[in-house]
Amino acid sequence: MTAKRVKKAVIPAAGLGTRFLPATKAMPKEMLPIVDKPTIQYIIEEAVESGIEDILIVTGKGKRAIEDHFDSVPELEQTLIEKGKSEFLKLVEETTNINIHFIRQSKPMGLGHAVLQAKAFVGDEPFVVMLGDDIVQSEIPCTKQLIDQYYKTERSIIGVQPVLSDVTHRYGIVDPKETLENGLHKVESFVEKPAPGTEPSNLAILGRYLFSPQIFNFLETQVPGSGGEIQLTDAITRLNEVEHVFAYEFTGKRYDVGEKLGFIRTTIEFALNRPDLEKEVLVILKELITNYEGRTIYR
Ligand code: G1P
């Protein structure tokens, strides 16, 4: 049997973004920029670089700006053409040539419920789920790494990396049963946000999943778990009981843009990685550090 090609991605983007209030009062958190690009665009780029052809974004109320961002803007494009600003025109146009579809999650009932909204879009094919709070920088795109593993195993694969033990309670954690080769693990169970000290390992689910369509059978009957929400992690545990779900330690550096400190760090690191900004950002950082002790606080 040859594995079906993985062509579809689902990006849940219905969360309220309360950690970034008041910025997210009228603007989706997925549109907060890292330097000059909305966070969700980094995710879409990873999908496209991984060979994904169709993307479904699961949105909710107040998320119209995401749809607008991936639509064309004829007046803006015309103005840029007239002014000869071709490099800006390229930036505006590059987000409009991708097959992006939208569906709404009418009630915020959890990540598992958000993914369930993709059932009709996915049909009978393997697909990936990419969370917008996790940006991964790697030589081979993280999603492509999972897809490559899928072609070998033909089983659902969950992307994991070790995290420090004092933060395991913020993630879905895997309980590995057997390590096969190069970072591929068979898994005993998956635990959503274990209480501190009860985590079965420090291997955390970091926002990249590849699923067989069987996952929907479990999402449809999934009862609420951690936080009273329908948890994707709980449905994965049940799927694992009927067909092995593997955990794969992907390579690359993962940035958490879903909380303030991670967001600030990502902004600084990404700015330092930009040839057009690197030198000046470094000067600013050095200046800030030098003057920090005697800093002026504006109130
Ligand atoms: C979600 C998942 C969790 C995963 C995390 C990765 O949690 O439920 O299993 O480890 O994303 O970012 P959230 O951060 O939405 O609470």
Q: Which CATH superfamily is domain 8-258 in?
A: Spore Coat Polysaccharide Biosynthesis Protein SpsA; Chain A (3.90.550.10)
Amino acid at the residue 9: A
Domain range annotation of the chain = 8-258, 261-299
Sign of CA dihedral 226, 177, 185, 125: negative
Q: What is the pLDDT of residue 295?
A: 66
**Residue 114 banded pLDDT, cuts 50, 70, 90:** very high
Which position has the higher pLDDT, 290 or 246? 246
**Residue 228 banded pLDDT, cuts 50, 70, 90:** very high
Q: Which two tokens stand for residue 174?
A: 């895997």
Which stretches of 27-141 are DSSP H helices?
39-49, 64-69, 74-82, 86-93, 111-116, 119-122
Separation of CA 152 and ligand 1 centre (Å): 26
| CB of 160 closer than 8 Å to CB of 186 | no
Integer Cα distance of 285 and 267 in angstroms: 12
229 lines ligand 1 (CB under 6 A): no
Q: Which two tokens stand for residue 27?
A: 């603007």
pTM: 0.93
| H/E stretch holding 216 | helix 215-219
Average pLDDT for 65-84: 88
Integer Cα distance of 104 and 231 in angstroms: 18
Pocket test residue of 19, 58, 131 for ligand 1, highest count of atoms within 8 A of CB: 131
